[in-house]
Structure 1
Amino acid sequence: MGIAEPGTRADLDSLVNLATGELDRRIFSDEEIFELEMTHIFGRAWLFLCHETQIPKRGDFFEAPMGRDNVLVVRQKDKSIKALLNTCTHRGNAVCRAEEGNVRNFMCTYHGWTFGLDGELVGVPGLKDFYHDDLDKTKYPLRQVAQLDSYKGFVFATMDPQAPPLLDFLGRTGRIGIDLLAERGDMECRPGIQKFTLNCNWKFAVDNSFDYYHPQITHISAQAVGMIPSAEATDSGGARTDEGNSLGVQRLPTDLDTLVALGEYGHAISGPSVEAMKRTLPPEMHELVTWRTDPGPLAALGRVGARFAGHPQVFPTAWFTMDAQLSLRVPRSAGVTEVWWFSFADRNQTPEEQRAQLDRQIHSFGPAGFLEQEDGENWSQSTMQAGPGARRSIPQQLKMGLGRGKIIHEDGVARIEAAVNEHAQLWTYLSWLEWIKGTDWDDLRDSTTPGDSI
């Protein structure tokens, strides 16, 4: 069945079934669905570009992806910021080949058209001899994004001039997600972004942010070397291998104190509470969660936000970790995702504290990260096992806690308190469905505003 046009809304509605908690697995492999995502999600949503500390000086720039477009985020002479599409208005060549740096202008290497930091066309070789002074340079500047804004140093942009303001798009849940990193101190982005490619659909890397069902299995190697605490086993089960051997399986305690926050447009936070996380972390790592009880962060996060020790997800692809990192999942095709890792540090930390944190960051997530390597194998295998037979007959299951998601509204946040569950994943896919249908902004907000249950 083709999914070529957003007008086939009945076909699209069948992709996510709230009543059964099932997803049509075509959403992870169908290139036509991927095209809808490029148009209706990445062509409209506010997308994270960079942190302001990455471009502190005039002429500093950072190249960031926005769907299939690449944009240059540039610090202007007046210290403001602009985001320019990295494509020459003459013949379309990139005007910058570097990923970041400092420049006085941007020159296309094809024919030498040159653009100022503000994107204005300032130089055209042969303007007099070839164009006979008959080319109006003011008509051919680099194109800017439709809207650009920042929240606490995190720079976002959208290609849609009709999109709501950034603060409205983020809502209370999205802002708390960013605050959980921004309020840790005087934060700056460390030099060097880790980038690597996985053969997986981008949504596998997104919904894993909320998955507290997998660590005791997926991350057993990280537990074995003491990188992360082992789950407290309340009982054990047996799993048989093909060779007839038995594996002891630890199960998460059924009373794990887990919080879920659901926000407009698909933003979500899911994870243990601060109190639950402190019970599992060794004392030397309590700082990862206890800083948010200080007066400054507490005021910004609010009563509910300060209780979260989980990983926030700003829809569609920005994920914030407990240890001051941001992951950007960049879709390249239905089966290929580029993963970017930004690592942050508090300028007021001692050099020793910064080195210890950087060591944790590098060895947790990214190409050298224990956790990312283990997760990436699962995402890639889940994407690979999507042949015609599997796509037609084996839906993906999101039944954990289905029908038991009572939502509590407090302090502007819609939250669920429960044991380990899949509420955040299901909320993300329900919102995703509204996005790919091309729903207009007013209806999109209404259809992705949490009610009293999920």
Structure 2
Amino acid sequence: MKETTSPADQLDELVSVERGEIDRRIFSDQEIFDMEMKHIFGRAWLFLCHETQIPKRGDFFEAPMGSDNVLVVRQKDGSIRAFLNTCSHRGNAVCRAEEGNVRNFMCTYHGWTFGLDGELIGVPGKSIFYKDKLDLSKHPLRKVAQLDSYRGFVFATFDETAPPLEEYLGPTGRLGLDLLAERGDIEAVPGVQKFVVKTNWKFTVDNVFDYYHPQITHMSAFAVGLIPAPADDFVEGGAMTETGANLEVPFLPTDLHNVVMVGEYGHAISGPDQDSLEVTAGGREPFAWRYKPETQEKLGHHGSRVAGHPHIFPTTWVNAGGQLSLRVPRSPGVTEIWWFSFRDKNASPEEKAATLSAQIHFFGPAGLLEQEDGENWAQSTLQTRGTVSREVPQLLKMGLGTSEIVKDDGLAIIDAPINEHAQLWTYHAWREWLRNPTWEELRQRTMPGDRL
């Protein structure tokens, strides 16, 4: 790609699904990042919070929507609204807290005050300085174009022409949230873990589906038993073993069964299925959570198999430990990670404590897995800035062109060994979003075909 050529004109060169190659510049180019903010984060339905985080009237939660911040507020009638956290006067934030309960929002610059519904209700000196000629009704806080929730998960979009939330999620996105909602009468654990990694947001998304890296990246987690290593007899019976750097590394079995689901707009689910993980772990408790029989019936045959990670495009990850993560893009090389943890309201205090302990130790700033992942993401992002290094393409060739997509129960499913199908699907959808097509064109271009 020529340096003087606009990325918008070179999207087919930036992402080649046929070759399984990605141009590294998409991870560090400012112009591409600006396109993402406009054409992806300015249009997509984005997760804001869970309804249990704002149960009472006046409760609010500040959430990111691309490069903007919005206040999600429980109204007096119990409904939910969201609006930009920026004063319609001079732009100052009208709220400095991340969450809480208020009667109204007052800008600390000049004291303009807004109601829970975002309407301007007070201006100091309105009669004296404005001679009562300022029409308050014309200067409310800017509202999101659409807001809706699915099973308690609140989403919003800045695009008034976007399809309804449930249509946007489709079968794949809805299943991803169902897998979390079906854990019981869930509620969000108070507090959101937040930390910053010097990486591009797409590396964090790519890693959601990557089951090729754990045996290398997370050797320490295997060593301390945080992740059950493959049973010895299973490893000897067919898994690969490679030696390097004076370490004998037990690879995950080459025939570890994976289930991949790809959906319109870029949503995907990928990873081992439940039975495969249990066999690999030699009958020990697998990393994933086994659903009760009645829940499996609700999720259906394919949904109850899922032990991997669902991802709702562009940046909402539902993980197997009862958590949801947002990857918030702050710049081409900086991403803020948010972790929401959930628990069953009806669980015992001991069960709640055990669940939270596991969640904290797996992911988040104290999470063993994400500390290791973050190092890889930061280094990978750094290399995309090298004058020569960035010319080396990223490779997504594992299983390329070999897997059939089977349509069943509204889902597009691939059954295959460890692969990179979901990653390739994500980048394919990313490319189509940046073309800025109509919603119908985007849906058609991200409708799964027969092979990937």
Gaps of 5+ in 1: 241-245
Tell me which amino acid in the other structure corresponds to 1:374.
E
Please give the alpha-carbon distance, in whole angstroms, between the structure 1 residues aligned to 2:115 and 2:4.
Answer: 43
Where does residue 393 of structure 2 map in the other structure?
A: 395
Residue aligned with 2:290, SS: helix
Residue 409 of structure 1: aligned partner = 407
Task: Say if 1:184 and 1:297, in contact at 8 Å, map to a contact too.
Answer: no
Change in 2 beyond 3 A, CA 1:257/1:141: same
> What secondary structure, in the 3-state scheme, does the structure 2 residue paired with 1:356 have?
helix
Identical aligned residues as a percent: 64
Give 1:18 shift. 1.4
The alpha-carbon deviation at position 5 of structure 1 amounts to: 5.5
Shift of 1:339: 0.2
Residues 334/406 of structure 1: CA separation in 2 closer, same or farther (3 Å cut) = same
Q: 1:19 to 1:447 in 2, by over 3 A?
A: same
Structure 1 residues 291-333: Cα deviation after superposition (integer angstroms, max 9, x where no partner): 2x4324522x222111111110000000011110001000000
User: CA distance change for structure 1 residues 436 and 314 in 2, over 3 Å: closer, same or farther?
Assistant: same
- Maintained 8 Å contact 2:278/2:284: no
Q: Which amino acid aligns with 1:319?
A: W
**How much has 1:23 moved relative to structure 2?**
0.4
Aligned match of 2:66: 67
**Counterpart of 2:325 in 1: which secondary structure?**
strand
**Counterpart of 1:226 in 2: which secondary structure?**
coil
Q: CA deviation at 1:289?
A: 2.9
Instruction: Show the 5 A alignment for 1:40-439.
Output: 40-231=39-230, 233=235, 234-240=239-245, 246-280=246-280, 285=285, 288-291=288-291, 293-299=292-298, 301-386=299-384, 387-392=386-391, 394-439=392-437
Contact 1:61 1:102 in 2 (8 A): yes
- Aligned partners of 2:216, 2:248: CA distance in 1, in Å? 10
Q: Deviations over 1:7-64 (max 9, x none)?
A: x43x111111112111000011111111110000000000000000000000000000
Partner Cα distance (2:73, 2:340) in 1: 18
Q: Partners in 1 of 2:284 and 2:143 — Cα distance?
A: 47
Q: CA deviation at 1:437?
A: 1.5
1:2 and 1:268 mapped to 2: Cα distance?
33
Alignment check: 8 A CA contact 2:229 2:281 kept: no
Cα distance in 1, alignment partners of residues 446 and 230 from structure 2: 33
| Deviation string, structure 1 residues 364-422 (Cα, Å, up to 9, x no partner) | 00000000001000000100112110112x10000000011210111111010000000
- 1:23 corresponds in structure 2 to 22
Mapped partners of 1:425, 1:328: distance in 2: 17
- Code of the residue aligned with 1:101 in structure 2: it is G
In the alignment, the residues of structure 2 paired with residue 425 and residue 58 of structure 1 have an alpha-carbon distance, to the nearest angstrom, of: 41
* Partner deviation per Cα, 1:250-299 (whole Å, 9 max, x = no partner): 222111111000000000000111111223458774695322x4324522
RMSD: 1.5
Cα distance in structure 2, aligned partners of 1:365 and 1:187: 19
Residues of 1 paired with 2:279 and 2:66: CA distance?
A: 41
Structure 1 CA distance, aligned partners of 2:413 and 2:48? 28
Deviations 1:125-178 (A, max 9, x none): 000000011111011111110000000000000000111110110000000000
**In 1: Cα distance, 2:331 partner to 2:257 partner:** 37
> Secondary structure at the residue paired with 1:290?
coil
Summarize the Cα distance change of 1:346–1:4 in structure 2 as closer, same or farther, 3 Å threshold: farther
Q: Tell me: CA distance 1:281–1:252, structure 2 relative to 1, closer, same or farther (3 Å).
A: closer
- Quick one: which amino acid aligns to residue 39 of structure 1? K
CA distance in 1 between partners of 2:345 and 2:279 (Å): 29
Q: Deviations over 1:71-119 (max 9, x none)?
A: 0000000000000110000111100000000000000000000000000
For residues 367 and 3 of structure 1, the distance between their equivalents in structure 2, rounded to whole angstroms, comes to 40
Amino acid in structure 2 at the alignment position of 1:384: L
Residues of 2 paired with 1:281 and 1:267: CA distance? 29
Checking the alignment, whether the CA contact within 8 Å between 2:240 and 2:254 is kept in structure 1 is no
State which drifts further: 249-258 or 398-407: 249-258
Deviates more, 1:206-215 or 1:11-20: 11-20
Distance 1:4 1:373, change over 3 A: same
SS at match of 2:129: coil
**Inter-partner Cα distance in structure 1 for 2:58 and 2:362:** 33
SS of equivalent residue, structure 2 residue 211: coil
C-alpha separation in 2, matches of 1:418 and 1:20 = 19
Per the normalisation by structure 2, the TM-score is: 0.96
Take 1:21 and 1:3, find their aligned partners in 2: how far apart are those partners?
25
For residues 168 and 146 of structure 1, what CA distance do their matches in structure 2 show?
A: 16
Amino acid at match of 1:252: L
Mapped to 2, the partners of 1:249 and 1:222 lie a distance apart of 13
Q: Quote how far apart the aligned CAs of 1:2 are.
A: 4.9
Question: 2:441 aligns to what?
Answer: 443
Letter in 1 for 2:110: H
Query: What amino acid maps onto 1:184 in structure 2?
Result: R
Aligned length: 444
By how many angstroms is 1:348 displaced? 1.1
Contact 1:216 1:231 in 2 (8 A): no
CA distance in 1, matches of 2:181, 2:202: 25
